[in-house]
Every structure is written in structure tokens, then in C-alpha cells.
A and B are shown apart, each in its own frame.
Chain A
Amino acid sequence: NAGVTQTPKFQVLKTGQSMTLQCAQDMNHNSMYWYRQDPGMGLRLIYYSASEGTTDKGEVPNGYNVSRLNKREFSLRLESAAPSQTSVYFCASSYGTLQETQYFGPGTRLLVL
């Protein structure tokens, strides 16, 4: 099992460009999450999907959109990137609610110039 995978590993964007971060899990998990991690601020939830076909906002959703493509895949889209979106993005999944172990992907490092 690969667990949770993310692509790309690293990306540089110019302000105003768009891109999609991809995430996939092969653990048959129902719930998937997108976080961003900034220095000194821990992880902050951007969006989550409790089950296939549903998505909900987290703590910092502005400037992002998500798609739960199927049970395995959950993508994060930046429509018009801003320097404030420079961060490390982690995807995670869990079988059910958070009270079951949440597994993280390796992260995507994004730099917006």
C-alpha cells in the first residue's frame, strides 16, 4: 500500500497563476482533508470531505476550491495564486471521523512569487 500520495512535491507559481494539487489514498478511507502548514502556526484545515460526494470548509478556505473526484482522490485548486498561499500543503485521510487515525501524505511545497 502506498498510503496517501501527493503530487507535485514542489511547485513554483507566479502571482495570478492557477494550479491543482492532487491527492490519492489507497486505504479505502471515507474521509479526506487538506491542510496548510506555515512556520510557527501548526497545521490549519482548508477543506475536508467526510465522504465521497461531500465537501466542507475548514478554518482557512478562502482562495481555494476542492473536488472529491471519487473515493480515492481529493484535489485542491488555487484559481489565482497569491504570495500568502506560499506554504506546505498536506493531504490526509481517515477511515471515518477524526477519532480514527488520520494519515498524512508527504506534502507539497508551494512557492508563489
Chain B
Amino acid sequence: GENVEQHPSTLSVQEGDSAVIKCTYSDSASNYFPWYKQELGKRPQLIIDIRSNVGEKKDQRIAVTLNKTAKHFSLHITETQPEDSAVYFCAASFNDYKLSFGAGTTVTVRA
């Protein structure tokens, strides 16, 4: 299967600053990399994803980059706001139906 490592495990940023979360994966055949946001006591929700034929994708204040050679991908949140406080999970697919998740990053945005 796939092994996904996620860093850091916790991240505290000042409101308005940027946040970056990094993930590495082990299976070079992985071709789909989603990111999920989970607020306290809620379900995970997809916020952005990237496929292996794309190097970068942006959606308003969030962006994801993928380096297939190095087998790592990152989530970038710019101009952080209090509502960005949550746990963020990266994941990598190792077949059409199986995702392997990172352990999560707890992001706290300080006002």
C-alpha cells in the first residue's frame, strides 16, 4: 500500500499570514492527491485536489503543489482567517478506490 507522511502535526499562524503543510508519499504510481479539512466534531470535507499530470492548482486562497520526482505535495493557505482553523489531511491514492491519509495537521489561526 501507500505510506503518506504529513508535517507539521501542529501549526499556529497569525491571522493574515500564510500556512504551509507538506506531505510525502511512497508509491510512485499514486496519481491523485486530495486535501481534506475537518473542523472539530465535523466530517472531513474536500477542499482541493491535484492529479499527477498537474504541478500546481489554485482555488482562491488555497493552492496545492505537486513534485512527482521528489514524491511530495504541499498545501498553501494565504491570508489566513480564523475560519481556517481546523485539522487538514493530505491523502494519496494507490488505486482507483483506495486513499492513504496523512496523520493530519492541526492549524490554529491567532487573531
List, in ascending order, chain A residues with CB within 8 A of B45's CB: 104
Distance in Å from the Cβ of A99 to the closest Cβ of chain B? Answer: 5
Q: Are B100 and A59 in contact (CB under 8 A)?
A: yes
Residues of B contacting A31 in the complex (Cβ-Cβ under 8 angstroms) = 97
Contacts A40-B103, A41-B103, A99-B51 given; does A59 touch B98 at CB 8 Å: yes
Chain B 32-69 per-residue mask, 1 if CB under 8 angstroms from chain A, else 0: 10100000001111100001000000000000000000
Main secondary structure of the interface of A (DSSP, over half): loop
Identity of the chain A residue whose Cβ is nearest the Cβ of B46 in the assembled complex: A101
* CB-contact partner of A44 in B6, B42, B96, B101, under 8 A: B101
Q: Once the chains are docked, how many angstroms separate the CA of A97 from the CA of B44? A: 18
Please name all residues of chain B whose beta carbon is closer than 8 Å to the beta carbon of A102 when the two chains form the complex.
34, 46, 99
Residues 37-53 of A, flagged 1 when their CB comes within 8 A of B and 0 if not, give 00011111100101000
Provide the bound-state CA to CA distance between A98 and B103, in Å.
19
Q: How far is B42's CA from A59's CA once the two chains are assembled, in angstroms?
A: 23
A44–B45 Cα distance when bound, in Å, is 16
Report the minimal beta-carbon distance from B1 to chain A, rounded to whole angstroms: 6
Range for the number of chain B residues in contact with chain A: 20 to 34
Q: Assess the B97–A56 pair: CB atoms within 8 A.
A: yes
Q: Contact partner of B97 among A42, A43, A98, A107, CB < 8 A?
A: A98
A36 to nearest B CB, angstroms? 11
Min CB gap A75→B, angstroms: 18
* Set of chain A residues within 8 Å of B44, measured between Cβ atoms: 43, 90, 104
**Among the listed A43, A48, A56, which residue makes an inter-chain contact with B101, where contact means beta carbons less than 8 Å apart?**
A43
Residues of A within 8 A of B93 (CB): 98-99
Chain A residues with Cβ under 8 A from B46's Cβ? 101-102
Closest 9 CB pairs of A and B: A42-B101, A97-B96, A104-B43, A43-B101, A42-B103, A48-B97, A104-B44, A99-B32, A98-B93
Binding site for A on B (CB under 8 A): 1, 4, 6, 9, 32, 34, 42-46, 51, 89, 91, 93, 96-104
